[in-house]
Amino acid sequence: MTTTVSRETAAFAGALDVIAQVEPRVAAAIGQELTDQRESLKLIASENYASPAVLLAMGNWFSDKYAEGTPGRRFYAACQNVDTVERLAAEHARELFGADHAYVQPHSGIDANLVAFWSILAHRVESPVLAEAGVKNVDALSEADWARLRRALGDQRMLGMSLDAGGHLTHGFRPNISGKMFEQASYGTDPETGLIDYAAVRAQAREFRPLVLVAGFSAYPRRVDFAAMREIADEVGATLLVDMAHFAGLVAGKVLTGDFDPVPHADVVTTTTHKSLRGPRGGMVLCTEEYAPEVDRGCPMVLGGPLPHVMAAKAVALAEARRPEFAGYAQQIVANARALADGLLRRGARLVTGGTDNHLVLADVSSFGLTGRQAEAALLDAGLVTNRNSVPADPNGPWYTSGIRLGTPALTTRGLGEAELAEVGELFVDVLTATQPDGDSKMRYRLDPAVAERVRARAAELVGAHPLYPEIDLSGR
């Protein structure tokens, strides 16, 4: 009897066999990771599952190439095939997002932001100094002008969203290099509604006069009005940088359009490619023609040599995102997040902003008498994989937190629908209602084992009904 083995099974099983010949423990860990991912009900808002085509595009000899420079202008020889994939990735990105220019080399979201910051500084601070001195590049500056430029580069301001309102560490906060480079101020959200108060941002920007106004977030469950942010930036002469790392898939899928689409409004847009966009782990910068020359100097300005294998995978993922079915996927992410919020609210959970209109929900778990840390651990015991997150004006700080962030991109990729997400919301409340803090600890907790058992079993059924990578069967290895 002959059995048909799918191409995907053959590819991944073959790859694992080759790896196992050198270091079987690595092959085993890769196989185990698939098993674990298949069995887990993943609600982490920043994670997803890339397609087999995206995964396979990363595992090859492109990894062996150095390719500093840009397509057609490399500092290394024999980059013709890297040029092909980098051009394709950039072309797909421009077409998909309607951007003037795309730079697909950043290795991650943080790196994309670093490219953006230094491109903006180069364009707005360095270029005028070069022009004034009548020279073409920094090497031609006098020692005195160079010293003046270095001081000016370190004397600029950034205004971004505060961390507890959902902003990201790279938006000017001290632990990240952005906070060491820029004098920073941050805008929060309205204490009553939890929403961005654009009039307050405007007033703050007028007062603070930032060089860079940053919009974008990791944990804000609503849409952002980028047209309003553009007006504010124009009023104070700031460059508008939007970090769409979290919601790039919703922009690609045309769920966020008009005032809520950052690309027509921002000077520079940064993103990761592995979250809602469902590509390989990596980053990307989109920008207007005005900023393109500096953005293209990302490597070697702040980046190491490009990763051609990841650029190949970006090209594949962006091609996938240009297919009509990706818009359906993006719409379903949001419908699922709304259903999840409804399930939570039905059982009395407290949600920051009272709901969602994007891919994530932020639950304030202090209403259960728990810290985010306790809730995250109890949920994991019951088979729900989430992550803790600060809520606005969080009394528990960024380590213990008072919130749990939930996202739907990954479960939507698996094919779960609204009824199932609403049920997940109810299971979440069941677990936290059955969890008590253990003494005064912000970490220890007691979870009713019967509830944990019941929810774990139901979570397993929910994911079991939607197999991850059904085309890959490694059971015969």
Which residue's Cβ has the minimum distance to ligand PLP?
109
Which residues, 6+ apart, have CB-to-CB distance to 276 below 8 Å?
48, 246, 247, 248, 249, 250, 330, 333, 359, 409
| C-alpha dihedral sign at 349, 339, 320, 10 | positive
Task: Let me know if 275 is a catalytic residue.
Answer: yes
Q: Please pick, from the candidates 6, 37, 84, 108, the single residue that binds ligand PLP as defined by CB under 6 A.
A: 108
The secondary structure of residue 367, as a DSSP letter, is G
Q: Does 168 bind ligand PLP (CB under 6 A)?
A: yes
Restricted to residues 275-304, the positions that interact with ligand PLP (CB under 6 A) are: 283
Size of the residue set binding ligand PLP (CB under 6 A)? 13
**Which residue's entry shows tokens 């677990």?**
431
Angle at 168 between CA 165 and CA 170, to 5 degrees: 145
CB of 167 to ligand PLP, least distance (A): 8
193 labelled catalytic? no
Is residue 423 part of the annotated active site? The answer reads: no
Select which of 243, 342, 364, 430 is catalytic: 243
Query: Which one of the spans 103-111, 138-146, 424-432, 451-459 is the region binding ligand PLP (CB under 6 A)?
Result: 103-111
**Alpha-helix residue ranges (DSSP H) falling in 126-270:** 127-133, 143-153, 177-181, 198-208, 226-236, 248-252
Our CB check for ligand PLP shows the closer of 170 and 336 to be: 170
Which residue ranges are tagged as binding site for (6S)-5,6,7,8-tetrahydrofolate?
A: 163, 167-169, 289
Cβ neighbours of residue 113 under 8 Å, at least 6 residues apart? 170, 171, 178, 243, 270, 283
**At closest approach, how far in Å is the CB of 272 from ligand PLP?**
4
Catalytic annotation present for 453: no
Q: Which of 47, 68, 91, 231 is catalytic?
A: 68
| 164 binds ligand PLP per the rule CB under 6 A | no
For every residue of 129-150, DSSP letters joined together read: HHHHHT-SSGGGS-HHHHHHHH
Task: Please say whether the beta carbons of 161 and 187 come within 8 A.
Answer: yes
Tokens found for residue 454: 């019941």
Among 110, 232, 233, 312, the residue binding ligand PLP under the rule CB under 6 A is: 110
In the annotated binding site, the residues are: 163, 167-169, 289
- 272 catalytic? Reply is yes
Site for ligand PLP in 205-224 (CB under 6 A): 216, 218
Question: Which residue, 45 or 427, has its beta carbon nearer to ligand PLP?
Answer: 45
Per the DSSP assignment, residues forming a β-bridge with 161 are 187
The residue (of 170 and 358) whose beta carbon lies closer to ligand PLP is 170
- In angstroms and rounded to an integer, the radius of gyration of the C-alpha atoms of the chain is 23
Q: Which is closer to ligand PLP, CB of 116 or CB of 330?
A: 116
Identify whether the C-beta of residue 315 lies closer than 8 Å to the C-beta of residue 88: yes
Location of structure tokens 């007006």: 231
For ligand PLP, which is the closer residue by CB, 376 or 381? 376
Q: How far is the CB of 470 from ligand PLP (least distance, A)?
A: 28
Written as one string, the DSSP assignment of 337-359 is: HHHHHHHHHHTT--BGGGS-SSS
Query: Judged by CB under 6 A, which of 40, 51, 170, 239 binds ligand PLP?
Result: 170
Give 347: exposed, middle or buried? Use CB within 10 Å, 0-12, 13-18, 19+: middle
Amino acid type, 332: Q
Interface positions, 238-257, toward ligand PLP (CB under 6 A): 243, 245-246
Residue 109 sits in the site that holds ligand PLP (CB under 6 A) = yes
Q: Which of 8, 9, 13, 46 is in the footprint of ligand PLP by CB under 6 A?
A: 46
Q: Does the protein bind ligand PLP through residue 272 (CB under 6 A)?
A: yes
Verify whether residue 239 is a known catalytic residue. no
- 440's CB contacts (< 8 A; 6+ apart) are none
Q: Which of 9, 272, 356, 371 is catalytic?
A: 272
Hey, which residues are catalytic here?
66, 68, 243, 272, 275, 281
Q: Which residues contact ligand PLP (rule: CB under 6 A)?
A: 46, 108-110, 168, 170, 216, 218, 243, 245-246, 272, 283
